[in-house]
Amino acid sequence: MADNRRRKRPTTATGRLFRLTGMTTSIATRVAGHQVKGLFQSDQSKAADREKLLQYIGKEVAATLGEMKGAVMKVGQIASQMQDILPAEISDQLKILQNASAPMPFHVIRRQLERELGAPLDELFARFEDQPFAAASIGQVHHALTPAGDEVVVKVQYPAVKESIDSDMKHLRRILRLGSLLKVDETALNAVFREIRSQLHEELDYLQEASNLEHFQAFHQQQPWLVIPQVFPALSSEKVLTLSYETGIPLDQVDDEHGFDQATRNLLGERLFDAIGQQIFQLRAVHCDPHPGNFAFRPDGSIVIYDFGAVKRLPPQDADLLKRLVRAAMNKEWATLDTMLMELGARKKDTQVSSDFYAVWIELLLRAFDDEPYDFGHSQLHTDIMRQVKRTPLEQILKFQPSSRSLLVERVISGHYWTMMKLGVNTAFRPNLEKAINIAGD
């Protein structure tokens, strides 16, 4: 059904509501039919039908959200990375949303720009390219030239995105709860959605992003190899952000042909790892959108970081808890690790987890952080983890749940695993990990 229905993108609040309500009704009807049918099926047939149901829901949600802009698509993109919340059949379908954004018509963008900056476009910029070079869920980016001759990029937020957040999230949450599809309890789910909502509100405030850029520039000022764009305040507002144009090679072109030998790629991997570690444990604020489009690389070993709208600020107690948790894992102190996971909210209380369970999983999760070089370019760690998930009894898996306190940090770590793979990094990260958790002292 979803595959055959290619409809015009909704551009009004009423249109969005109609589209989301229609999707919810369609899914609810399919879930109800599945439940009735299950009364007359064997366990094997019921399991096979449930898999088909989940695949249908995943396709339906991905197809509908892919036609929309704004908060609902952004939440869908985040949800695609939540394998510990969603069944794989759904999260796999949602992954297409990461590259599903089509640009808005330029007349909409022009009107937004002129309304936000208070002047005609021709007075604001000496040149402004109609076609965006990047389009995302909540805005798009254009090349431009200032009257003073500075090459800049201009990020313009789509109209009415901020106003749609609460309604969009309400509908998406209802969809994900249909038929008890989620694998976490109500308290944990509420905390996760509060975290996502808070992050979205911050990401939609471009003045806050400008402040983030300046904050990170000051922190990394002794690391000239980390390039962070400069803000043009006179050409920026809550919904428009103008930044210096910083060039770099996209991740998928970082190879020998473009001047990146193995030593340079290793250096880039270590520098990226060290920067993220410093942000988590020292700055206690981390750039938390690891999408490849937010990073570029230079053959001299420099890393360009774009888009500081998604920044997770860590309370001192959370940064300290994460540091102690990593230490316990590295030292194989399973009882301490278990206690800390419960404190973090990532492990359900009133259950027992064996040391053998932790020994297997920590070996997997720390495999890439050994004293010996790890070849990310040929890594099979992700497939080994999925095999272990299938081997592990469901009742053991259900003793764990996502924690709102670490959700976005985990997104950073898992996202940059794929960055390291695409870079083809082959180096020993144990010294870097030890330096990261000792960076702020005890």
Rounded to an integer, what distance in angstroms lies between the CA atom of residue 219 and that of residue 216?
5
168, 289, 318, 338: the active-site residue: 289
Which has the closest alpha carbon to 287: 202, 374, 368, 197? 202
- Take residue 265 and report the two structure tokens written for it: 């790629």
Give whole-number Cα distances, 263 to 268, 275, 303, 395, in Å: 9, 18, 15, 45
DSSP state of 243: E
- Give 117's contacts (C-beta < 8 A, 6+ positions apart): 124, 235, 237, 240
Q: How many CA atoms lie within 13 A of 260 on its CB side?
A: 25
H or E element in which residue 131 lies: none
- Give 165's contacts (C-beta < 8 A, 6+ positions apart): 70, 71, 197, 200, 201, 204
The DSSP line for 31-68 is HHHHHHHHTTS-HHHHHHHHHHHHHHHHHHHHHHHHT-
Q: Is 289 marked active-site?
A: yes
Active site residues: 289
